[in-house]
Amino acid sequence: MGKKDARRRLRDLGESKHTSDSPPFRGPTETGPIVELQSFILMSIVGLAILVGLGMLYGIKAVEGDLENRATALLQANAILDVEVDASGQDLQLVGSVAKEEDLVAAPQLVASLEGVRSVQSEIRLVLPLETGDSVVETDPLVMQWSGGAVTITGDVSDEPTREAIVAALDEAFGSVDATGLTVEEGIPSERDWLSRVLRIIELGGSMVPEGELFVGPEQRVISMTAVFDTRQEQHDVREAVEEIVNETAFVFDSRLTVADTPVVPPEQVVELQENIDDLIAGKVVEFELNSDVLTSKGIALLNEILVALEKFPNVPIEISGHADSQGDDATNLELSERRAEAVLAYLVGHGQDTNRFAVVGYGETRPIADNSTAEGRARNRRIEFRALEE
């Protein structure tokens, strides 16, 4: 083969390589190592974020703990011992009690002065110590029992003028008083914040309760009256009057006023009846003729629906209350609300209901549920309400 043939041969071989079906070489085509690298970077970023978050959390907890410790130490250094400090970031909450009014103001001011505190919320209560100092004198509660115009009282009071005031009120209300068991015990707290109210209850008991018992527990902060009435209306009137007086004090009223020969009503029946009545009168009113206690046809139709609900639970007592809007004078509105409640009672009793399961009261304009400045609001306030009672 000559040189020309050899060169031609080599040229042909080179051209055949570039024209074959195989693609030219472009380096590695595998994607696995790249994906793994991206995953590693992503996981590293997530891990770093978690570490940073934990670091910030622990940092916040450390700041909160430091603020709580410094605030508590500052309060204790100022003889404020019964207040706990709770930190949420740089915001502090104070909870507890103090015995002096000045500490009620001083505690949040002291804590707010600490470096790093942003805000202070105080829920500290003022609890005054007994006037007798460190000693505690046990006190017997006042117990008054009366029947047939004669009353007996036992218990302890703080001084002779208080004893004389109670005996005078009992004598005025009942006529015959046995106060040999009412004694003066020096060192017990004064009765000045509740005595006048108890004297009013004594007067009420003498005029409205033929036989009963009144318990006054200053240490328990409880006033209780026990009596049995012949009618639901009598029981209702006495309970409402006593509650109104007790609500003027820091005492709680424990009513033990009952009606003779009435069955015990399961609480679930009271709840269900109230729900049924509420559903029936939702968006409606028991209508009367204008400025009158005469029921309209719509008012009668609604009462007929209520009768069905009442007959389902015949032993549940009911309060019927009348309400008025603010137009007109107070006395007229009160009288009209009472007459309308009585008219509803008369209709229900006339259709088979037992009168003794009901108590009737008129509240006039004293309990509005809507704005009296609009016609719509006044219409809602002119209403009859039914309240299922447990006793």
How many other C-beta atoms are found inside a 10 Å radius of the C-beta of residue 318? 23
Q: Quick check: is 29 in a domain?
A: no
Spatial distance between the Cα atoms of 186 and 184, rounded to a whole number of angstroms: 6
pLDDT digit string (tens) for 68-95?
Answer: 999 999 998 888 988 899 888 888 888 8
Do 304 and 360 reside in the same domain of the chain?
A: yes
CA 59/CA 76 separation, integer angstroms: 26
- For residues 112 and 167, membership in a common domain is answered with no
- d(CA 84, CA 180) in angstroms, rounded, equals 48
Is residue 327 domain-resident? yes
Q: Do 112 and 147 lie in a common domain?
A: no
Among 214, 238, 259, residue at a domain's last position: 259
Residue 189 and residue 287 in one domain: no
Based on C-alpha coordinates, what's the Rg of the chain? 41
Q: What is the CATH number of the domain that holds 364?
A: 3.30.1330.60
Q: Is residue 70 part of a domain?
A: yes
Domain boundary among 214, 235, 259: 259
- Residue 213 in any domain: the answer is yes
Write the burial class of residue 201 (CB in 10 Å: 0-12 exposed, 13-18 middle, 19+ buried): buried
Biggest distance spanned by C-alpha atoms of the chain: 159
Residue 5, pLDDT score: 55
pLDDT block averages, 10 residues each, the chain of length 391:
51 49 47 67 72 56 87 89 87 85 86 87 73 60 94 95 95 94 92 94 94 94 95 94 93 93 90 95 89 92 96 94 90 93 96 94 91 88 91 77
Residues 158 and 242 in one domain: yes
- Kindly state whether residue 34 falls inside one of the protein's structural domains: no
Boundary residue ending a domain (259, 287, 319)? 259
Q: How far from the centroid of its chain's Cα atoms is residue 210's Cα?
A: 35
The helix/strand/coil state of 19 is coil
* Rounded (to 5) percent helix, strand, coil in the chain: 45, 25, 30
Q: What are phi and psi of 97, to 5 degrees?
A: -145, 155
In a domain, 283, yes or no: yes
Q: At what angle do helices 101-112 and 32-77 cross, to 10 degrees?
A: 140
Tell me which residue range forms the domain holding 302: 267-388
Q: What pLDDT digit, counting tens, does each position of 4-40 carry?
A: 554 555 455 445 444 444 444 444 444 566 766 777 7
CATH number at residue 252: 3.40.1520.20
State the total domains in the chain. Answer: 3
Single pTM value for the model: 0.60
